[in-house]
Amino acid sequence: SQTIHQWPATLVQPVGSPLSLECTVEGTSNPNLYWYRQAAGRGLQLLFYSVGIGQISSEVPQNLSASRPQDRQFILSSKKLLLSDSGFYLCAWGRGITEAFFGQGTRLTVV
């Protein structure tokens, strides 16, 4: 069966520090991978998605970047965090767009 792992579950980082959130998928190959930010009143905002290794589509100009160094690994990064980067980040995988499977999320607080 397929599983998705996302870590850490919570993270507190100072302004200006770097960020690396990791997401890995098991039990499938060549999945679509997605990063979303979930915020009250703003719903699920698509940040990045990837259809293959090294292929990243960015949806929202921002202080974040994404990479896919391996088929089942998706990383969300920042060189210098801003206060506005605080939020709940969700990783998801899918076979095509037929169904997306979500991780448990990371609560990021920038202080």
Partner 1 sequence: AQRVTQPEKLLSVFKGAPVELKCNYSYSGSPELFWYVQYSRQRLQLLLRHISRESIKGFTADLNKGETSFHLKKPFAQEEDSAMYYCALGQGGSEKLVFGKGTKLTVNP
Question: What is the three-class DSSP state of 103?
Answer: coil
Of 103, 106, 108, 110, the residue at the interface with partner 1 (CB under 8 A) is 103
Residue 16: Cβ-neighbour burial (10 angstroms; 0-12, 13-18, 19+): exposed
What span, in angstroms and rounded, lies between the C-alpha atoms of 11 and 48? 20
**Strand order across the beta sheet in which 19-26 lies:** 3-7, 19-26, 73-78, 65-70
The stretch among 13-21, 43-51, 66-74, 79-87 that binds partner 1 (CB under 8 A) is 43-51
41 near partner 1, judged by CB under 8 A: yes
By CB under 8 A, residue 104 contacts partner 1: yes
**Does the footprint of partner 1 cover residue 102 (CB under 8 A)?**
yes
> Which parts of 66-85 interact with partner 1 (CB under 8 A)?
none
Binding site for partner 1 (CB under 8 A): 32, 34, 36, 41-46, 49, 51, 57, 59, 90, 92, 94, 96-105
